[in-house]
Amino acid sequence: MPDTSDTSATHPLASLLTPDFLTSIARSHLPPDKSKHHNLSLEWIQAGPNFDSEETKAAWWTALVTISRIPLSEMPDMMSFLPPPADPAFPEQSLGLTLLLDQGPRLLCRGADGRWTDGFFGQVSQQLAHSWLALPAEQQPNAWKRWEEAGASFEHWCLLHLFLSCPFVHSERLEDQDIALEMTEERRKGAEQRSGETDPYREKRSEVLSDALAFPRVIRAGPPAGEDVTMQEWVFWSCMLFDVHWPIIKKFGKYPYRNAVLGRESTEEEVKWLEETKHFAEASPEVAERVEKDIKANRWTALKDEVPA
């Protein structure tokens, strides 16, 4: 549980997790014109921070390193660094903080540092996600009405809604995966209503939610791409991409490809999954060995101050 004794005004993180910083993170992952009806297949390829700027990368890394030095048992309530939920700035800054905690480690923690991604930051990002999910529906940062009133297009909302759902998709708790399914259904229904088309993956629903090998296959195949890809085509595909995480957690209770970087033993069934997926997203034996040594020594190798190359 987060430590609620600290407030944003007194905690050392306050000087890092500023409104301007969180807003800049959110905007770095989204097209600059939120009112535009984007080609989602093209925007998805370009989504993400511009790490060509060393200043941007350093700011992200400094924040992550600082957070990593706080024990989980002493972690402040991340909601305390955000505006009040009713504040118009709340949705965008919530998105920025979510991106920092969920996507930042995936972009910057390499090698044995990858243990921090889901072994540490995943817990922090999921606590934040559950905190805003507990708000009244109209105050949640993913609420379509809030973004619509702020002038955002449906396409823009689909992208940010997807990123806000990532902590649930990345969770290894089935109840979080159920929340992720509800969130993808919200995007799916929105696309169906606007296009007048039914998501073709609905006919394959039982297959989508039972094929534990689908996720690596879908990732390797890639998204629909090109100037002629419709809004609904991309939304339907992206919803399916998120939904195929569910059967992995349903079957194993975890993502087998994380076992190496988290120092976990793989069962025979998980080894078979890794072999059938050609060791999809699995850490190298060298990384696994380093993590194993740390775990046996009851330690975490600290993230270095130096920004990753």
pLDDT at residue 1 tops 90: no
The alpha carbon torsion through 201, 243, 110, 268 (nearest 10 deg) reads -110
CA distances from 282 to 74, 89, 241, 309 (A): 30, 38, 19, 21
Confidence class for position 258, pLDDT limits 50, 70, 90: very high
Say whether pLDDT at 5 is over 60. Answer: no
pLDDT surpasses 70 at 52: no
Domain residue extents for the chain? 13-296
Would you state the pLDDT for residue 44? 79
Could you read off the pLDDT of 74-113 as tens digits, one per residue? 999 999 999 999 999 999 999 999 999 999 999 999 999 9
- Binned at pLDDT 50, 70 and 90, residue 231 comes out as very high
Instruction: Say what the pLDDT of residue 8 is.
Output: 59
pLDDT at 158 over 60: yes
Is the pLDDT at 9 greater than 80, yes or no? no
More confidently predicted of 23 and 9: 23
Query: What pTM does this model have?
Result: 0.95
- pLDDT computed for residue 7 by the predictor: 56
Higher pLDDT, 182 or 6: 182
Q: Is 49 exposed, middle or buried (0-12, 13-18, 19+ CB in 10 A)?
A: buried
Give the per-residue pLDDT at 54: 87
pLDDT digits (tens, 9 = 90+) for 30-39: 998 999 998 9
State yes or no: pLDDT of 203 exceeds 90. yes
Burial code (b: 16+ CB inside 10 Å, e: under 16) for 209-244 equals: eebbebbbebeeeebbeeeebebbbbbbbbbbbbbb
Q: Is the pLDDT of residue 200 over 70?
A: yes
Give the pLDDT mean for 196-202: 99
Select from 70, 79, 134, 123 the least CA-distant residue to 101: 123
62 pLDDT more than 80: yes
Q: Is the pLDDT score of 2 beyond 80? A: no
In a 3-state reduction of DSSP, which class is residue 76?
strand
- 105: exposed, middle or buried (Cβ count in 10 Å: 0-12, 13-18, 19+): buried
In this predicted structure, what is the pLDDT of residue 10? 80
Token output for 288: 């696994």
**For 69-120, where are the alpha helices, taking DSSP H only?**
90-98, 104-108, 115-116
Phi, psi of 278 (to 5 degrees): 60, 40
